[in-house]
A and B are shown apart, each in its own frame.
Chain A
């Protein structure tokens, strides 16, 4: 082979290789095996408040100088991972502080490189703040599953310092009451029970992490013991299971829930929340399940509940039986979005609405809470 031909052959080979490389680069890389969803997702909301998602439930944490205050503790299956995530989050937020400014010359609040505080705030930060308290918005297993473990991991002052975090819920949201009511054979462990309860329309906690925290009782909504938690300065409302962005809301008629109470609760949330601009932002609302929301999302959900109530009420007035109402596809326009929960189907939701409209009990009480 003549040298020039050899050169040409090499060059053409290089061209081919070059194209091959280019094609390889242009083609999508081999996709790695799909990783399982992270067990705990963390979303900062506003101010002190964080939302954690685990096991299909939402947990809220106020993290700051006073420690950690959690609203609900998720299902028991994710307790260990959730607890570790909350503690790590607290460590990052409250303990591992880096100096925020470079120190050139002499200035206030300036941490010198050689100072004794620098290492202590970076390489050897203080311990994470403890979990001080737990608020339960209701007594459902998917929200109180970690109560015992979270409480054991915490430390609080209830008159005296105790080596556990307190747990508070409305007096109606008492597992013992429910178990007695339902003659349940399964008993809630005593360590998971509320250590404190409140009665009436609202309960003010002491300031925590620099802001007021108010518990609002929503009667006869998801159940008869629902609490909405308001973090006043952070401007965050934790709605619990009267608001569910992943599903139709469970109406626990056997435990005092009602469709009217759900609607009243949604209207209370809408009255209390303040939008930032053009029905967007402002007060953020954490549902029991599903994505973070604001006033516009509340309004759509309130509308859905009200419209379904009106449809079922109209069917009842026509004398339709429960089975006929279930078969009438009264939620066809919402089933695609909210009817995917295999445990709580559209038929069960309709049944909850139907039964609560036909129940003369506490379920017909109106919300008297004034924001």
Chain B
């Protein structure tokens, strides 16, 4: 009897092992991410920052210097008026998200997803195993994305991005940044996790996430845009010289940050940073700052 059980067990193990390998070799159970989604906003995802508020961003010394030089008047230059949100930022934006899927008519496999928001360029995510372009190929706001399945989670690797902001106040990721994203769907909720790696402007990976809810009534409107002259002469690029950004004192006042303390960087991501803040000044700063907002 024992011998029979032993033989049966061994046979089951063989079959199970074979099936597991076959399943691993074949396409896993795929989740359908297509549809219209609306973003679920939260306090941590307002993305309407004050100038100088780079807290929580792991900006390197170069990234901080770049951000401190940024002047919002730059956005009046023709080259910036129609600039869309890029891949490293747009998923935190406020607009609807539509994810379409490209299906191979023969194999009926999903070969690409096409996410789009209200103010974006095309951002295809390829699942057909195509190789990455050479490094000298052009970069785009959406970059070049390929995806693989991790169970029913889609892992997306993105390269060939343009230089772009990671917060809309001068915090930048360079055109050498890469992004790893995961799409996780639980029923009508889509979780979008993003990790930005940038050798130039980040000293640590930037990890953020966003939530979307499926919404059959949402639409993604078109976004035609043409640049116009807004009064800035061609030879003039708005920026602040080092140590002369007048807005940094406002953000320091708002949060009670000591004058010598940078308003961004890896240190500001962690709870210990709060001990450096002056609570009394924080509350005063908040009131005065809000009046001028």
Q: For the complex, is B84 an interface residue (Cβ under 8 Å from A)?
A: yes
Q: For the complex, is A15 an interface residue (Cβ under 8 Å from B)?
A: yes
The number of A-B residue pairs with CB atoms under 8 Å apart is 140
- Contact flag A22-B17 (CB < 8 Å), given A51-B136, A278-B141: yes
On chain B, the residues within 8 Å of A333 by CB distance are 62-63, 65-66, 69
A270 contacts B79, CB within 8 Å? Answer: yes
Q: For the complex, is A25 an interface residue (Cβ under 8 Å from B)?
A: yes
A332 contacts B62, CB within 8 Å? Answer: yes
B76-87 near A? 1/0 per residue, CB < 8 Å: 010110111000
A291 contacts B69, CB within 8 Å? Answer: no
| Bound complex: CA A314 to CA B223 (Å) | 40
**In this complex, what residue of B is CB-closest to A294?**
B138
A8 contacts B6, CB within 8 Å? Answer: yes
A43 contacts B134, CB within 8 Å? Answer: yes
A291 contacts B135, CB within 8 Å? Answer: yes
A11 contacts B200, CB within 8 Å? Answer: no
Interface residue ranges of A281-323 to B (CB < 8 Å): 281, 284, 290-300, 302-303, 306-307, 310-311, 314
Q: For the complex, is A335 an interface residue (Cβ under 8 Å from B)?
A: yes
On chain A, the residues within 8 Å of B225 by CB distance are 278
On chain B, the residues within 8 Å of A15 by CB distance are 10, 13-14, 17
On chain A, the residues within 8 Å of B237 by CB distance are 302-303, 306-307, 310
B21 contacts A290, CB within 8 Å? Answer: no
Contact of B139 among A278, A297, A306, A310 (CB under 8 A): A297
Categorize the interface residue count of chain A.
35 or more
B121 contacts A277, CB within 8 Å? Answer: yes
Q: For the complex, is A186 an interface residue (Cβ under 8 Å from B)?
A: no
* A7-B7, A21-B21, A336-B201 known, 8 other contacts, Cβ within 8 Å: A11-B10, A279-B79, A279-B83, A293-B139, A303-B74, A330-B242, A335-B62, A337-B200
Q: Which residues of A contact B (CB under 8 A)?
A: 2, 4-5, 7-8, 11-12, 14-15, 18-19, 21-22, 25-26, 41, 43, 51, 53, 58, 263, 267, 270, 275, 277-281, 284, 290-300, 302-303, 306-307, 310-311, 314, 330, 332-337
The 7 nearest A-B residue pairs measured at CB:
A299-B79, A11-B10, A333-B66, A336-B200, A333-B65, A306-B237, A292-B138
